[in-house]
Amino acid sequence: MRTTKRSTKAKRNKYLEKDKIKALAALAVNKGNVSQTALELGIPRKTISRWASGENITPLTIVQAEQHKKSLAEMFEEVANKALSTAVNKLNSDASSISVEKLIDISAKAVQTSRLLKGEPTSIQEQGNAADYKGKLEALRAVRAAREDRRLAKVG
């Protein structure tokens, strides 16, 4: 009885250029989160990670991914505008079943995603008053003191 030798290498998936383009754009939407992108697209995390680092990616793929991101940004911007317009209309007439707060939330998320895809800042830096900073500084000092106490307890 003759046995045939089977290949020990696992069968590799062949991905199309459009898969790479979609993955690179999704990676931008997910703020570079490879695991989240892999989960959403059903593509192994290592594959997404290799593409993100430029492996098996051509300059044309990068250009097309940027174009895809721009078209997605425009779509999210359109969603934001529609949600905001609907929110304004709801304020004028209570005909819609979606709450104004929900519409504003949808609009804000769509604007943020649009900006992310365009490479623009996505949030306003938090600005606090002196009391806020004083409280944060005191909390930080307390944490550091507790760590130092633990360290000294281990030594002593």
Count of H helices and E strands in the chain?
6, 0
Threshold 0.75, pTM exceeds: no
Check: CB of residue 54 under 8 Å from CB of residue 24: no
Phi, psi of 122 (to 5 degrees): -110, -5
For residues 14 and 138, give the distance between their C-alpha atoms in angstroms, rounded to a whole number. Answer: 55
Domain ranges of the chain: 14-57, 71-123
At 14 the pLDDT is: 85
Name the CATH topology of 14-57.
Arc Repressor Mutant, subunit A (1.10.10)
For residues 152 and 156, give the distance between their C-alpha atoms in angstroms, rounded to a whole number. Answer: 6
User: Mean pLDDT for each 10-residue chunk of the chain (156 residues)?
Assistant: 46 81 91 93 94 90 90 87 79 65 79 81 54 61 78 78
At 6 the pLDDT is: 44
- pLDDT tens-digit map of 62-95: 899 989 988 988 888 888 888 878 877 776 666 5
At 104 the pLDDT is: 78
At 9 the pLDDT is: 46
For residues 71 and 77, give the distance between their C-alpha atoms in angstroms, rounded to a whole number. Answer: 10
User: How many of the other CB atoms lie within 10 Å of CB of 46?
Assistant: 10
